[in-house]
Amino acid sequence: MNAPIRISPLFDVQAPLGPKWSHVDAMQTPASFGSADGAKLALAGIGDVSFRRRAGVKGPGAAAALAELGIATPERPNSFLRMACGTLVARMGRTEFMVEDAAGGTRTAQMHAQTPGAGVYPVPRFDAALVVTGERAIELFRQSCAFDFSSLVLPEQPLVMTSMVGVGVTVVAIDDPSGPYYRVWCDGTYGGYLWATLVEVASDLGGGAVGLEALGRLAQ
């Protein structure tokens, strides 16, 4: 197995817990924190998907530039979509977009290789990226954030920009047959604090940190 060349913004707070590691897209990522991962996931699981590659773009020409690359964009501001290839595209406001590859995806590499045209401005993305899931996820949000996530209409694929435990975050709510779950992004420099704090809150709810093996397709 090749050594990782990308360092997760959460590595320093995860390593002391002694997880079993895996390498995904050249980033060392927890595969498991132990045999209780599945039980924690069902109640209030906090997963790490920072390995997914991201790129951002904004400006009046941003949507057209993405369309030239075959990247679909949400019609409504503050919403998201998932392409058939697994790429997640988030629209923040009217003219700013974040594109996140599925594991092994190449859409963001295409964006980095594209020469920006008129009205197109690249936005560097160095996010920590989390998954929050479980039957007590809404309770976790109530303890860590002022926004009422229970008010969201999940089929509309909503996106929220708010603050959690004092950290600015972007959150999308994903409607899934197994139950709703949430993707959370923040500036990578605050990622360790956010992850550790949410894991502490989740632990009080019977959940906690979970690895990719328990997350399964929720990490895709």
Spell out the domains of the chain, with CATH numbers in brackets: 11-51+126-213 (3.30.1360.120), 54-123 (3.30.70)
At residue 4, the pLDDT reads 62
Average pLDDT over residues 1-27: 89
Of 108, 150, 87, which is closest to residue 6 (Cα–Cα)? 108
What digits encode the pLDDT tens for the residues 171-184? 999 999 889 999 99
C-alpha to C-alpha distance for 21 and 29, rounded to whole angstroms:
6
For residues 200 and 18, the answer to whether their CB atoms sit within 8 Å is no
What digits encode the pLDDT tens for the residues 58-90? 999 999 999 999 999 999 999 999 999 999 999
Determine phi and psi for 20, rounding to 5 degrees.
-80, 130
Q: Is the pLDDT of residue 145 over 70?
A: yes
pTM metric for this prediction: 0.95
C-alpha to C-alpha distance for 179 and 216, rounded to whole angstroms:
14
